[in-house]
Structure 1
Amino acid sequence: MPGTFEKRDNNPQVDLTGEAAGLRWLGEAERDGGLVCSHVVHADAHRLIEERIEEGVPTREKACLAGAALARTHAAGAAWYGCPPPAWNGRGYAIGRSRTPVVPSGTVGDMGWGAACAEWRVMPHVRTICNDGLVDASEVRLLTHVADRMAAGDFDSPEPELVRSEGHACSRIHGDLWAGNLLWAADDSRAAVTGAALIDPMASGGHAETDLAMLQLFGCAYLDDLLAAYNEVSPLADGWRERIGIHQLVPALLHCVLFGESYMGLALSIARRYA
């Protein structure tokens, strides 16, 4: 019987009930073949007790299972870009001094991914790093220009086929899907059926390509196999590889906010590609 894992965070901005709601929301997709998620045992604002995922080593077979399952998790859908898990009414996800806001109902209308991302993700980070003195005037203009292009819909694209076929406005995404939050399953564990399991989400309505781009930002074992399996189950829109960078801009900027100048080169290099 698997044990539990306890997470504590005393940051006054943190609300771990949001992470718990995200795990439960993403976990709803398990019944339709979505990725296994750690079960929540208890959650309050600063303490989360969840199922401990029994970990194994990554393999090509597990990556294929995980890619197909991730496509089905995304296909569970969400109501609008930036929406929170329905069971949570928090203001946003806090990491350190940064907050990634959820987008309140009624504020977005028919706003597409690019417009929502520019207003609620990119520009708040740009203002913070500007206040921190990490960018000069020309670099602020560069980042703002890219945000303006996003807001104009220049990088918008259809969601993957399964999401569209289910009639959803957008995908149900993990939101912080770097390799450390995709745990490879032990062969005899509950998560073995999907090859891997999800932990530590910043779940929201979003574009499926955002999760895929995050996996590529810092590397993931057998990533090509994972992506191929995803694309087979739920084909991605044409040109998705050329859009990877624009979907990596937000996490790059968040790292600038959290860790300072060492990530500015990454963020600016992404911005220059899409200026």
Structure 2
Amino acid sequence: MTFVKHAASERAASWEAAGLEWLRAAGGTSVVEVTSVESNSLVLQQLSSTSPSTAAAEDFGRSLAATHSAGASAYGVGPDGWQGDGYQGPADDLLPLPLRPYDSWGAMYADLRVVPLLERATALRSEAEQLLRRLRGGDFDGSCAAPARLHGDLWSGNVVWTADGAALIDPAAHGGHPESDLAALALFGAPHLERIVASYEEVAPLGDGWRERVPLMQLHLVLLHAVLFGGGYVEQTRRILHRYR
């Protein structure tokens, strides 16, 4: 069975399809199947959801580590063969997701994930300067050995739990820091999160101090929410910026 998902444009539909296929090619976590892309619509496999078991969560942790380990050619790049920027945010209010290759995770995170959103959240720009200097100076680069193949928007709503285990949907796929996907799962809460992380570490141990970096890894998505929705996300962003000054 299939269902049709309408995108904001033909390019946005192609972007989502490219991300799903790139993640599928990693051979790790299950990914919703793209049957076809027709103009501004995707024809996707119909997924039937169920409650996740502890065993399914552990399988997900291990398979997500395998997806990440498939890697990317550089930090900040999109799926193989994709040209130009991608998209981020809800389908009815998409923003550009800047994409270009970097050797440094911190510089990429500053230039492509944080600064473009700060240009839309000008009240926070001055408070971000110290963290931006740290990112560009490589202070956090040692926590990541190589670019991971990220889902890029891995909040719990983009993981569908089926009878066969977890399946990924709605990516903003790019090369980045593996802790970013795990931090996204924690942002709004994921079932059996501690088991997911523990099983992930069975395959790919996280770097020292990873728990202290969780808010930093969440900054991109929190700032995106601040731009799109305002409210408490603005203050949450401010707290993260001050934490890493």
**Comparing 93-102 and 203-212, the one that deviates more:** 93-102
Normalised by the length of structure 2, the TM-score is: 0.93
Runs of 4+ in 1 over 4 A off after TM superposition: none
Tell me the residue number matched to 1:140.
125
Q: For 2:130 and 2:3, how far apart are their aligned partners in 1?
A: 43
Change (3 A) 1:182 1:155: same
Alignment check: 8 A CA contact 1:20 1:40 kept: yes
Question: Aligned pair count?
Answer: 242
Q: For 2:51 and 2:84, how far apart are their aligned partners in 1?
A: 36
Alignment of 1:222 with 2:219, yes or no, is no
Higher radius of gyration, 1 or 2: 1
Deviation at 1:80, TM superposition (A): 0.4
Say which of 20, 25, 34 aligns to 2:17: 20
Alignment check: 8 A CA contact 1:183 1:196 kept: yes
Q: Percent identity of the aligned residues?
A: 42
Deviation at 1:256, TM superposition (A): 1.0
Say which of 174, 183, 186 aligns to 1:213: 183
Tell me the residue number matched to 1:122.
114
- Structure 1: tracts of 5 or more residues without a match: 187-191
Alignment check: 8 A CA contact 2:88 2:172 kept: no
Tell me the residue number matched to 1:152.
137
Q: Which amino acid aligns with 1:255?
A: H
Please, what is the CA RMSD of the aligned residues?
Answer: 1.6
Change (3 A) 1:197 1:261: same
Alignment of 1:70 with 2:67, yes or no, is no
Deviation readout 1:192-225 (Å, 9 max, x if unpaired): 2xx2010111111111000011011110000000
Alignment check: 8 A CA contact 1:65 1:229 kept: yes
Say which of 179, 194, 197 aligns to 2:156: 179
Normalised by the length of structure 1, the TM-score is: 0.83
Q: For 1:236 and 1:28, how far apart are their aligned partners in 2?
A: 23
Q: For 1:172 and 1:209, how far apart are their aligned partners in 2?
A: 11
- Structure 2: tracts of 5 or more residues without a match: none
Tell me the residue number matched to 2:49.
55
Deviation at 1:79, TM superposition (A): 0.5
Q: For 2:9 and 2:228, how far apart are their aligned partners in 1?
A: 14
